C-alpha cells in the first residue's frame, strides 16, 4: 500500500457524531436514513476491526457522518482523524484503539493510556495503577465502562486501583477526555473522564457455518501472553457467536499469574544521592521487587440483540477477581520486619448491566441509550505484621451500586438557513450501599476481635442523581457553539460510631454546573477549540466516613466537608491532514473548595482510635481556603510518512499549586500533591495493514519532579528530594493475519533503566520481553 493510498481519509460531512450518544450508535454514511441502519456496519463489514493508528477508522469508531446521517441536511466539512475519533471532538480528548493496544501490550487498563497526552499513570503496586489526568486522579477523575459509571462513593483521595479492575483484554477502545466534564459525565469529572468501551461480539469477518444452520457461527479465540519482567503467564479464551440474524454473543474468561516484578534497578534519591530503599523491597539481586506478584481471573459475557431496525439490547456481565495482591509500599512498610505485608486478598468487581439503544428515533430522541446496571466492588485486606507476630489485621469492604443512566440526542434541527441545533440530554441515578468491617486476629490464640468500625461506617448509603442537557449550534461550516448544564442532588447517610467518635452523616447537596465552548474551522484541516467547563464532586463516603492508613499517614474523615468544584478553561488547535495530525492544548484548571489533607495534632485524635494518635503523620480532609490552580500544556503530533512509516510524539506538562493546608504566611501556597513531571513519549516505525507487519521504536521520558506537596514529603513512595527523571526505550514488532493469528512482541526498557513513575511504590519493569499470541478464526 502506498503512502498516499494508505492515507486515504474520510472527508466527513459533519462536525461530529451526535453528541452524547454512544459511539456505537452511529451508522455509516450508507446507513444514514436507510433501512441498512438496522445492523451496524461494523458487524457486517468484512474486516471491520478497529484500525490501528494511522489507518482510516472503521468499525467501532464514532462515524464522522453521524451528524449528517442524523440530520440529513447541512454538513460541515471536517477531516476524519486517523488516530481515533473522540466521542466529543470539541473536547481535548484522545483515543486508544484495540489494534494499538495489541501493539503496545499494556499490562492493565490504566497502562493502556500511558501514551496519551495529559495522562500519567501512578502505581502503588504492580497490581494497582491510577491514571492522572491533568494532574488529578482517583476521585477527581471519572471512569466509565460502556457508559456505566465505575466511580463509587469509596473512591479515595489520591491514587486508587479501581481502573485496574477493568480487564484490558476486553477493551476495544479507551478514550481520555481531559478537563472538567461534569455536565456530561456527572460527579468526579474534575480532571477529566476516562471512557472505556468493550469489544462487541460479531466483529469477525467470516462466519463459518455450523452444519445446516448458516445463520449460526462460532469464532473461538485463544490469547496467550507471557512477559519476562514479572514471569506473567496468562491468557484468555473467548467465543464469539452469531445466534441467528439478530443475536450475537461474546463470552470469555481469562487469567494470569504474575510474579514479582524485576526492575532496571534501584533509584538514587535526588535529595541524598543515596540508593532509595524500601519501598519497594528489593531481592538480593537488587532488581527484583518483592511484594509485587498477584493473581487475576476474569470472566465476561456480552449478548447483543437487535430485535428491530434501529434497536439494540445489550446484556453484559464482567467479573474481575484479583487475588493475593500486595500493596507494595506496605509490603513491607518502611522500618517494619521484611516479612510484614499488607495484601489485598480479594479485589473484586462484578458488573452486570442491560442497555437499550435506539438509533433512529423521532426527532426529539433520535438516538437513545438507557443503561441499568448493578455492581459490587469487594476489597478484603489482610495485614500481617511479620517477624513472628501472630497479629493479623483484616478489613473487608463491599460496595453495592445500582445505577440508571439515560442519554438522548435529538435530531439536528435547522433553525435557519445557516443554523442547525442538536441537543443531548439525559439523567442518571446511582445508589451505593456499603458494608464494612475490620478485625484483629491472633494466630497464637485463634481469637478474633471485631473492631468497632471498619474503614467505612457499615451500612452507609450514598445517592446521586442528576439531569443534564447540552446543545450545539452549528453556524455555517466554520463555527460550532456549545452550551450545557447539569443539575442534581447528592445525599450521604451514615450512622455514627460513638466508640470511635465517628460522626453520623446526613448530608444533602444540590449542584448546578455548566459548560460551553466553540470550534472554529477556518479550513477543513484546522480546528481552533475553546472550552470553559465545570466539574463537580460532592464529598463521598470515603471523605465523610473513612479512616485509613494512606501512603502519607493516617487519614481521618470529616463529616462537614463541602463539595469541590472545578473550572477548566482550555484552548487548543487540531490539525487533521493526510500527512500530519496535531492536537495541542493549553489549559488552566481551578479547583475551589479542594478537599485536601491537612495535618492535625495527635491531641485532636478521636478517642477510641489509637491508630490515629500513634501514626507518625495524621491528616484530616479539609476544604482548602481559596482555589487550587493547575495549568499546563499538552500535545500530540502524528506524522504519516511514505512507505507506511509513521512517527508520533506527545508531551505533557502540568503545574499545580494549592493553598497551604498549614497556615504559613511565608508559604501561602504549596505544590499540589503528586502532579506529574514534564513528560512525553515518542513512537516511530513501520505499520502496514497490507502486510500485517509492524515494527516500532518507542521512547518514554520524564524529568525530575521535585515540586512536592507537604504530604508528598511524608510519603515513602516518593524518594527524598523527588522522583528522578528517566528515559525508557521500547521496541515492538508483530505480525497480524486477521482474523487467524496475531503475534506481538515488545522488547521493553531496552536500556534496563531504573525508573519510577512519580508517586509510585514500584519501579518500572526492567529490560524484558512481552510475548502476546492470539489464535482464532
Partner 1 sequence: MSTRPFLRRLALCLGSVLAAACAGDDGGGGMGTGGDTDTGGSGGTGGACEIDGTPQVPPIDESSCAPLPTDYQPLDNMSANDMWPACITDDGEYHLVADSPGTIGRVEGYEMIADLLWRNGKVPTTDDFTMARVVYSQDQGLESRIQRREDLHYPPIPMEDWDPTVDPDKQCSVPSNVDKYPDRCVGPGRMQPILDAAFAAGQTGEGIAEVHAARIQATLLWFLYTSTYKESNTCFTSKAKDCDSSWAYYTGGFQRDGGIGLAGEVRALSDTTHNRVFDGVAAVRCLRDLYPDDMYPVLDDLPAEGQMLFDLGWEQLDNALHRGFALVVRDRLARQADLSGNEALANWAFLQIAGPVLQREADERGPASEAQTLADLFAMDCPTAADIEAGIAALDTIFPCP
Interacting residues with partner 1 (CB under 8 A) = 277-278, 281-284, 286, 332, 334-340, 383, 385-391, 393, 440, 442, 444-452, 499, 549, 554, 599, 601-603, 605, 610-618
Query: What's the rounded Cα separation, in Å, for the pair 137 and 551?
Result: 15
Nearest to 674 by CA among 645, 646, 714: 714
The distance of closest approach from Cβ of residue 282 to partner 1 in the complex, given in angstroms and rounded to an integer, is 5
Q: Which is nearer to partner 1, 394 or 423 (CB)?
A: 394
The distance of closest approach from Cβ of residue 332 to partner 1 in the complex, given in angstroms and rounded to an integer, is 7
Query: What's the rounded Cα separation, in Å, for the pair 233 and 295?
Result: 10
The distance of closest approach from Cβ of residue 617 to partner 1 in the complex, given in angstroms and rounded to an integer, is 8
The distance of closest approach from Cβ of residue 291 to partner 1 in the complex, given in angstroms and rounded to an integer, is 12
DSSP state of 502: B
Cα Rg of the chain, angstroms = 25
Query: What's the rounded Cα separation, in Å, for the pair 541 and 547?
Result: 11
Q: Which is nearer to partner 1, 209 or 448 (CB)?
A: 448
The distance of closest approach from Cβ of residue 671 to partner 1 in the complex, given in angstroms and rounded to an integer, is 19
Q: Which is nearer to partner 1, 46 or 273 (CB)?
A: 273
Query: What's the rounded Cα separation, in Å, for the pair 582 and 41?
Result: 29
CA torsion angle for 312, 317, 318, 322 (degrees, to 10)? 180
Helix (H, G, I), strand (E, B) or coil at 498: helix
SS (H, E, C) 54-90: CCCCCCCCCCCCHHHHHHCCCCCCEECCCCCCCCCCC
Q: Residue 127 in contact with residue 160, Cβ under 8 Å? A: no
Q: Which is nearer to partner 1, 281 or 687 (CB)?
A: 281
Q: Which is nearer to partner 1, 429 or 440 (CB)?
A: 440
Q: Residue 622 in contact with residue 598, Cβ under 8 Å? A: yes
The distance of closest approach from Cβ of residue 388 to partner 1 in the complex, given in angstroms and rounded to an integer, is 7
DSSP state of 708: -
Omega into 280 within 30° of 0, i.e. cis? yes
Burial (Cβ within 10 Å: 0-12, 13-18, ≥19) of residue 53: buried
Q: Which is nearer to partner 1, 350 or 389 (CB)?
A: 389
The distance of closest approach from Cβ of residue 702 to partner 1 in the complex, given in angstroms and rounded to an integer, is 25
Query: What's the rounded Cα separation, in Å, for the pair 645 and 639?
Result: 9
The distance of closest approach from Cβ of residue 392 to partner 1 in the complex, given in angstroms and rounded to an integer, is 9
Distance of CA 12 to CAs 56, 82, 85, 518, Å? 12, 12, 12, 19
Q: Which is nearer to partner 1, 377 or 500 (CB)?
A: 500
Q: Residue 271 in contact with residue 305, Cβ under 8 Å? A: no
The distance of closest approach from Cβ of residue 344 to partner 1 in the complex, given in angstroms and rounded to an integer, is 16
Q: Which is nearer to partner 1, 93 or 263 (CB)?
A: 263
Q: Which is nearer to partner 1, 386 or 496 (CB)?
A: 386
The distance of closest approach from Cβ of residue 272 to partner 1 in the complex, given in angstroms and rounded to an integer, is 9
Read off the C-alpha cell for 622: 479539609
The distance of closest approach from Cβ of residue 454 to partner 1 in the complex, given in angstroms and rounded to an integer, is 13
Q: 713 Cβ partners below 8 Å, 6+ apart? A: none
Q: Residue 57 in contact with residue 42, Cβ under 8 Å? A: no
Query: What's the rounded Cα separation, in Å, for the pair 607 and 1?
Result: 73
Q: Which is nearer to partner 1, 429 or 613 (CB)?
A: 613
Q: Which is nearer to partner 1, 338 or 504 (CB)?
A: 338
N residues, the chain: 777
Nearest to 591 by CA among 163, 154, 141: 141
**Which residue(s) pair with 419 in the sheet?**
475
Q: Which is nearer to partner 1, 283 or 625 (CB)?
A: 283
Q: Which is nearer to partner 1, 211 or 335 (CB)?
A: 335
β strands within 660-739, DSSP E: 669-671, 679-687, 693-702, 726-737
Q: Residue 461 in contact with residue 493, Cβ under 8 Å? A: yes
Amino acid at each position: 500500500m502506498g503512502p498516499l493510498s494508505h492515507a486515504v481519509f474520510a472527508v466527513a460531512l459533519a462536525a461530529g457524531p451526535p453528541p452524547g450518544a454512544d459511539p456505537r450508535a452511529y451508522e455509516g454514511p450508507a446507513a444514514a436514513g436507510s433501512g441498512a441502519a438496522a445492523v451496524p456496519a461494523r458487524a457486517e463489514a468484512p474486516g471491520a476491526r478497529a484500525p490501528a493508528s494511522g489507518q482510516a477508522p472503521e468499525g467501532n469508531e464514532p462515524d464522522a457522518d453521524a451528524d449528517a446521517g442524523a440530520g440529513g441536511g447541512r454538513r460541515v466539512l471536517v477531516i476524519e482523524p486517523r488516530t481515533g475519533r473522540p466521542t466529543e471532538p470539541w473536547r481535548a480528548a484522545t483515543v486508544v484503539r484495540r489494534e494499538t493496544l495489541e501493539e503496545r501490550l499494556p499490562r492493565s487498563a490504566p497502562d493502556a493510556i500511558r501514551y496519551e497526552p495529559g495522562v500519567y499513570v501512578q502505581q502503588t503496586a504492580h497490581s494497582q495503577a491510577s491514571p492522572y489526568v491533568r494532574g488529578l486522579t482517583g476521585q477527581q477523575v471519572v471512569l466509565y465502562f460502556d457508559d456505566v459509571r465505575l466511580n463509587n462513593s469509596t473512591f479515595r483521595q489520591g491514587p486508587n486501583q479501581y481502573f485496574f479492575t477493568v480487564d484490558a483484554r476486553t477493551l476495544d477502545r479507551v478514550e481520555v477526555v481531559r478537563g472538567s466534564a461534569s455536565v456530561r459525565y456527572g460527579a468526579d469529572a474534575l480532571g477529566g473522564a476516562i471512557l472505556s468501551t468493550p469489544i462487541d461480539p460479531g466483529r469477525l469477518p467470516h462466519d463459518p457455518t455450523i452444519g445446516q444452520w448458516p445463520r449460526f457461527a462460532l469464532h473461538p479465540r485463544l490469547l496467550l501472553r507471557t512477559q519476562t519482567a514479572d514471569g506473567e503467564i496468562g491468557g484468555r479464551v473467548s467465543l464469539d457467536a452469531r445466534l441467528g440474524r439478530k443475536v450475537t454473543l461474546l463470552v470469555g474468561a481469562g487469567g494470569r499469574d504474575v510474579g514479582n516484578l524485576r526492575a532496571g534497578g534501584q533509584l538514587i534519591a535526588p535529595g541524598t544521592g543515596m540508593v532509595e530503599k524500601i519501598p519497594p523491597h528489593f531481592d538480593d539481586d537488587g532488581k527484583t521487587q518483592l511484594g509485587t506478584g498477584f493473581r487475576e481471573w476474569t470472566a465476561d459475557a456480552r449478548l447483543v440483540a437487535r430485535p428491530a431496525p434501529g434497536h439494540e439490547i445489550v446484556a453484559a456481565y464482567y467479573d474481575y477477581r484479583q487475588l493475593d495482591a500486595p500493596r507494595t509500599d506496605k509490603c513491607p512498610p518502611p522500618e517494619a520486619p521484611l516479612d510484614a505485608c499488607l495484601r489485598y486478598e480479594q479485589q473484586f468487581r462484578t458488573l452486570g448491566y442491560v442497555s437499550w439503544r435506539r438509533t433512529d428515533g423521532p426527532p426529539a430522541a433520535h438516538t437513545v441509550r438507557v443503561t441499568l446496571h448493578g455492581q459490587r466492588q469487594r476489597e478484603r485486606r489482610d495485614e500481617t505484621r511479620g517477624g513472628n507476630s501472630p497479629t493479623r489485621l483484616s478489613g473487608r469492604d463491599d460496595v453495592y451500586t445500582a445505577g440508571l443512566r439515560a442519554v438522548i440526542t435529538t435530531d439536528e434541527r435547522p433553525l435557519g438557513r445557516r443554523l442547525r441545533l442538536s441537543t443531548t440530554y439525559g439523567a442518571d441515578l446511582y445508589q451505593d450501599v456499603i458494608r464494612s468491617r475490620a478485625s484483629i486476629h491472633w494466630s497464637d490464640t485463634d481469637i478474633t476481635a471485631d473492631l468497632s468500625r471498619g474503614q467505612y461506617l457499615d451500612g452507609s448509603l450514598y445517592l446521586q442523581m442528576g439531569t443534564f442537557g447540552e446543545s450545539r449550534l452549528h453556524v455555517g461550516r466554520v463555527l460550532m457553539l456549545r452550551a450545557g448544564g447539569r443539575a442534581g442532588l447528592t445525599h450521604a447517610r451514615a450512622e455514627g460510631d460513638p466508640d470511635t467518635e465517628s460522626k453520623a452523616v446526613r448530608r444533602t447537596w444540590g449542584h448546578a454546573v455548566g459548560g460551553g465552548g466553540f470550534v472554529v474551522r477556518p479550513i477543513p484541516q484546522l480546528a481552533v477549540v475553546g472550552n470553559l467547563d465545570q466539574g463537580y464532586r460532592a464529598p463521598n463516603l470515603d471523605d465523610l466516613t473513612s479512616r485509613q492508613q494512606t501512603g502519607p499517614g493516617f487519614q481521618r474523615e470529616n463529616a462537614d466537608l463541602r463539595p469541590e468544584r472545578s473550572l477548566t478553561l482550555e484552548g487548543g488547535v487540531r490539525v487533521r491532514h493526510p500527512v500530519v495530525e496535531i492536537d495541542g492544548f493549553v489549559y488552566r484548571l481551578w479547583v475551589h473548595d479542594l478537599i485536601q489533607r491537612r495535618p492535625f495534632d495527635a491531641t485532636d485524635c478521636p478517642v477510641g482510635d489509637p491508630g490515629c494518635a500513634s501514626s507518625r503523620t495524621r491528616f484530616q480532609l479539609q476544604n482548602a481556603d481559596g482555589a487550587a490552580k493547575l495549568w499546563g500544556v499538552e500535545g500530540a503530533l502524528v506524522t504519516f510518512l511514505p512507505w507506511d512509516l509513521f512517527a508520533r510524539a506527545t508531551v505533557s506538562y502540568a503545574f499545580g499549586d494549592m493553598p497551604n493546608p498549614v497556615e504559613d504566611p511565608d508559604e501561602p501556597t504549596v505544590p499540589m500533591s503528586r502532579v506529574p513531571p514534564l513528560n512525553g513519549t515518542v513512537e516511530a516505525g513501520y505499520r502496514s495493514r497490507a502486510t500485517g507487519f509492524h515494527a516500532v521504536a518507542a521512547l518514554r521520558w520524564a524529568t525530575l519532579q521535585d515540586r512536592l506537596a507537604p504530604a508528598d514529603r511524608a510519603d515513602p513512595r516518593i524518594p527524598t528530594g523527588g522522583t528522578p527523571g528517566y528515559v525508557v526505550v521500547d521496541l515492538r514488532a508483530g505480525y497480524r493475519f486477521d482474523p487467524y493469528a496475531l503475534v506481538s512482541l515488545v522488547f521493553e526498557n531496552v536500556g534496563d533503566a531504573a525508573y519510577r513513575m512519580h508517586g509510585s511504590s514500584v519501579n518500572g519493569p526492567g529490560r524484558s520481553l512481552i510475548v502476546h499470541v492470539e489464535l482464532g478464526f
